[in-house]
Amino acid sequence: MAAAARILRIGLIPGDGIGREVIPAGRQILEALPSSFNLKFSFIDLEAGFETFQKTGKALPDKTVEVLKSDCDGALFGAVSSPTTKVEGYSSPIVALRKKLDLYANVRPVKSVKGAAIPVDLVIVRENTEDLYVKEEKTYTAKDGTKVAEAIKRISARASQRIGKIAFEIALKRASIRGPNSAVSPLVTITHKSNVLSQTDGLFRETVRAVFEENPSYSSVRCEEQIVDSMIYKLFRQPSYFDVVVAPNLYGDILSDGAAALVGSLGLVPSANVGDGFAIGEPCHGSAPDIMGKGIANPIATIRSVGLMLEFMGETEAAGKIYKAVDGSLVAGEHLSPDVGGSAKTQDVVEDILKRL
């Protein structure tokens, strides 16, 4: 007798701009997974974003958080339009979601396809809950009458330990996928600025290194360090050198967006916000208001984020099927969106990947 299908409940949060165009693409991919994976999906539409804030006064409605906690096994988040100037009462809903659901790791693989001029295959693991993203800022007037703004940078041993552990676990997993005969050995690069920020970045560096030194199961992994500015230089000069890069929140954000340039577009780069037992897939691109409604948004970052979400839900074979279909589409090059030099519409790209599934 065949085993009952695993039913996964997925929250869909399109957010703003092209998020409303690419999240439906993610749903199509899940619905099209072959029956051999024995998976079924149900979907719950949820609201969050700047447009939600403009309508309701809340960027992240309480109901969205409650439903994710009580009724969902995972979620997909599209994009958010965060204004660059202060808007009273508004703060980023994705940053709030990471904190409310304790999604302490942001995992961002950056990988080129076979035959690319610059081979890239690395993962940036970004601490997701603290650093400058605690958003504790203040302004005041100094004694000389000038205006001063300050922001708190918070680094804790607990958060650094958790992010260090997941980085080393990812390095081991990648090594197992490559196999014992691979010429590539697992490497974790700790990125920091402790030469200047000796207390905060110093604590991050020391804690992550302690995770490595105190766990015998990581003995097959090499552990190195890079100061963040030299890391950026080396990342662009020698991207193939790196395997897993672990960094505090702000550096991880900058590094992962910069690394996207190595593979051609933010529209190709996925991420997953990961906690203990829950994951939200999220494309790395923003809301792209300049192309909103034109039907040309690249859905691949979202589709790859679907795969990442499934990976962290334990469905690695289904995730691998999605990655293979995406890579096949990119290598064929017949259905490329404008951001990577093609003229295909969003749905054209989706249809090509669906055929490959």
pTM (two decimals): 0.91
How far is the CA of 274 from the CAs of 167, 183, 269, in angstroms? 12, 29, 16
Q: Where are the domains of the chain?
A: 1-103+275-357, 130-245+253-261
Q: What is the pLDDT of residue 2?
A: 64
Query: Measured at the alpha carbon of residue 109, what is the angle toward residues 73 and 283, in degrees to the nearest 5?
Result: 60
Q: What is the pLDDT of residue 86?
A: 81
Q: What is the pLDDT of residue 265?
A: 86
Q: Around Cβ 135, how many Cβ atoms within 10 Å?
A: 12
Q: What is the pLDDT of residue 1?
A: 58
3-state class of 228 per DSSP? helix
Strand 244-247 and strand 187-192: the pairing is parallel
Q: What is the pLDDT of residue 182?
A: 83
Q: What is the pLDDT of residue 3?
A: 76
Does this chain's domain 1-103+275-357 share its CATH topology with 130-245+253-261? yes
In angstroms, rounded to a whole number, what is the distance separating the alpha carbons of residues 139 and 141?
7
Query: Measured at the alpha carbon of residue 270, what is the angle toward residues 266 and 272, in degrees to the nearest 5?
Result: 140
In angstroms, rounded to a whole number, what is the distance separating the alpha carbons of residues 287 and 122?
25
Strand 6-15 and strand 74-79: the pairing is parallel
Low-confidence ranges of the chain (pLDDT < 50): none
Sign of CA dihedral 130, 125, 110, 192: positive
> What are 275-279's contacts with CB under 8 Å, separation 24+?
275/101, 275/102, 275/103, 275/104, 275/105, 276/102, 278/68, 278/73, 278/74, 278/101, 278/103, 279/74, 279/75, 279/103, 279/308, 279/309, 279/312, 279/313
In angstroms, rounded to a whole number, what is the distance separating the alpha carbons of residues 64 and 52?
11
The DSSP element (H or E) to which 279 belongs, if any, is strand 279-281
Q: What is the CATH number of domain 130-245+253-261?
A: 3.40.718.10
Q: What is the pLDDT of residue 85?
A: 81
Q: What is the pLDDT of residue 275?
A: 95
In angstroms, rounded to a whole number, what is the distance separating the alpha carbons of residues 24 and 113?
24
Task: For 1-103+275-357, give the CATH class.
Answer: alpha beta
Q: What is the pLDDT of residue 111?
A: 92
CB–CB of 204/159 below 8 Å? no
Best CA proximity match to 309, nearest among 276, 269, 349, 282: 282
CB–CB of 345/329 below 8 Å? no
Q: What is the pLDDT of residue 237?
A: 93
CB–CB of 302/22 below 8 Å? yes
